[in-house]
Amino acid sequence: MAQSISSSPTNSASKPSAPSVGLAHAAALLGIGALLALIHQAWDFHLKLPGHYGLVWMAGVMMTRHWSPARWAALGSACGYIGGTALLTHGAHAGLTQAPVYALCALVVDAAWLLGATHLRRLAAAALLGGVAFMLKPITVYLLAHGLDLQLGTLRFGAVFPIITHFCFGAVGAVIGTLCHGVGAQYSRKP
């Protein structure tokens, strides 16, 4: 009795699976995050605006997200960023104080990517994702500080301005990352 393999959606062979990510790819994701930490430590824009590092952070995260087939690529680069910051500032405390908010931003980017990666190649969608993901940083810090009755940095004057600036810098950074990936992808395809 011969069995036929159906091409129905219930057949496990027809279901798309996440590409396996090897050790070298995982190391590359961590390395990209560490590079972002190095850029953050070495290149301060001196804009004196909250969230200005979102330009570089979201550009790097979005370039990584476009480049990598790994399901949690943004989180992998966030882990590299956290570790790189801890190493570059000579203490785990510096890397770990920002770890939850950067990990949250990366998780939002990865989750949105899993839900609709093809839409995120559009600049408006990338900008919206980058802005929303990066503005979660001051919202989270504000909620924690407010709940614990702490006064933290620019949030001591209220949350509206930092939330707006984080959104704007995150959105612009995401657009930069998406454009850079597009240019790089076109350049790599030329003979």
Domain boundaries, the chain: 24-189
> Within 10 Å of residue 163's Cβ, how many Cβ atoms?
20
Tell me which residue of 64, 7, 88, 89 sits closest to 184, measured CA to CA.
64
> Within 10 Å of residue 41's Cβ, how many Cβ atoms?
14
- Give the residue, 3 or 145, on which the prediction is more confident: 145
Cα 159 from Cα 178, distance rounded (Å): 28
Tell me which residue of 187, 182, 156 sits closest to 50, measured CA to CA.
156
CATH architecture of 24-189: Orthogonal Bundle (1.10)
Residue recorded with tokens 């810098």: 169
pLDDT digits (tens, 9 = 90+) for 112-162: 999 986 677 789 999 999 999 999 998 988 887 777 766 666 666 678 888
Side chain identity at residue 100, one-letter code? P
State residue 99's pLDDT score: 81
- Non-local (6+) Cβ contacts of 189 within 8 A are none
Tokens of 141: 């810090």
pTM of the full structure: 0.78
